[in-house]
Structure 1
Amino acid sequence: MAALTLTDLFAVPDLDRSLQPALQQALDGKAKPPGALGRIEELALTLGLIQRRLKPAVERPVLLVFAGDHGLTRSGVAAFPSGVTVAMVDTLLAGKASANAFARVVGAEVRVIDAGVAADLSGREGLVHAKIAPGTADASVEPAMTAAQAEAALLAGAQVAEDAIADGADLLALGEMGIGNSASAALLMHRLAPAPLDDCVGQGAGHSPEGMARKRAVLAQAAARSDATAPFEVLTQFGGYEIAMMAGAVLAAARAGAPVLIDGFIGTAAALLAIRLAPAARGYCLFAHASAEAGHRLMLEALNARPLLGLDMRLGEGTGALLAVPLVQAACALLSEVAELSDVLEAAG
Structure 2
Amino acid sequence: MSALNLDDFADLVERPDGGIRRDAEDRRGRLAVPPGALGRLDELGEWLAAAQGSVPVQPLRQPKVLLFAGDHGIAEAGVSARTAGSAHELVRAVLDGASPVAVLARQAGAPVRVVDVALDCDPESLPAEVGGYRVRRGSGRIDVEDAMTEAEAEQAFRVGMAIADEEADAGTDLVMLGDLSVGGTTTAAVLIAALCGTDASVVTGRGGRPIDDLAWMRKCAAIRDALRRARPVLGDQLKLLQTIGGADLAALTGFLLQSAIRHTPVILDGVVSASAALVAQRIAFRAPDWWLAGQTSGEPGQAKAFDRLALEPLLAHGVTAGEGTGALLALPMVQAAAALAAELPVLDEKPEQEEPETAPTA
TM-score band (shorter)? over 0.9
Aligned to 1:153: 156
Contact 1:289 1:307 in 2 (8 A): yes
Contact 2:200 2:221 in 1 (8 A): no
Aligned to 2:219: 215
Aligned to 2:76: 74
Q: CA RMSD, aligned part only? A: 1.8
Aligned to 2:54: 53
- What's the offset of the Cα at 1:260? 0.4
Contact 1:202 1:293 in 2 (8 A): yes
- What's the offset of the Cα at 1:75? 2.2
Aligned to 1:259: 265
- Amino acid in structure 2 at the alignment position of 1:229: L
Alignment of 1:306-345 (within 5 A): 306-342=312-348
Alignment partner of 1:177 out of 167, 174, 180: 180
For residues 269-294 of structure 1, give each alpha carbon's deviation from its aligned partner in whole angstroms, at most 9, with x where no partner exists: 11111111111111100111111222
3-state DSSP of counterpart to 2:123: coil
- Amino acid in structure 2 at the alignment position of 1:171: L
Once residues 49 and 294 of structure 1 are traced to their aligned partners in structure 2, the CA distance between those partners, rounded to angstroms, is 31
Aligned to 1:347: none
Q: Which stretch shifts more, 231-240 or 308-317?
A: 231-240
- Amino acid in structure 1 at the alignment position of 2:295: H
Aligned to 2:357: none
3-state DSSP of counterpart to 1:43: helix
Aligned to 1:100: 102
Residues matched between the structures, number: 343
- What's the offset of the Cα at 1:116? 0.3
Contact 2:194 2:230 in 1 (8 A): no
Aligned to 2:359: none
3-state DSSP of counterpart to 2:198: coil
3-state DSSP of counterpart to 1:224: helix
Contact 2:123 2:131 in 1 (8 A): no
Question: Which structure 1 residue ranges, 4+ long, deviate > 6 Å from structure 2?
Answer: none
Q: Which stretch shifts more, 325-334 or 78-87?
A: 78-87
- What's the offset of the Cα at 1:15? 2.9
For residues 106-157 of structure 1, give each alpha carbon's deviation from its aligned partner in whole angstroms, at most 9, with x where no partner exists: 1211001101001112352242521111011111111112222111111101
Once residues 45 and 5 of structure 2 are traced to their aligned partners in structure 1, the CA distance between those partners, rounded to angstroms, is 31
For residues 284-305 of structure 1, give each alpha carbon's deviation from its aligned partner in whole angstroms, at most 9, with x where no partner exists: 0011111122232222111111
Once residues 131 and 64 of structure 2 are traced to their aligned partners in structure 1, the CA distance between those partners, rounded to angstroms, is 14
Contact 1:173 1:261 in 2 (8 A): yes
The answer for unaligned runs of 5 or more in structure 1 is: 345-349
Q: Which stretch shifts more, 233-242 or 7-16?
A: 7-16
For residues 211-239 of structure 1, give each alpha carbon's deviation from its aligned partner in whole angstroms, at most 9, with x where no partner exists: 11111112212222342322222211111
The answer for unaligned runs of 5 or more in structure 2 is: 351-362
Once residues 171 and 31 of structure 1 are traced to their aligned partners in structure 2, the CA distance between those partners, rounded to angstroms, is 28
**In the alignment, does 2:42 pair up with 1:37?**
no
Highest CA radius of gyration, 1 or 2? 2
3-state DSSP of counterpart to 1:245: helix
Alignment of 1:113-124 (within 5 A): 113-124=115-126
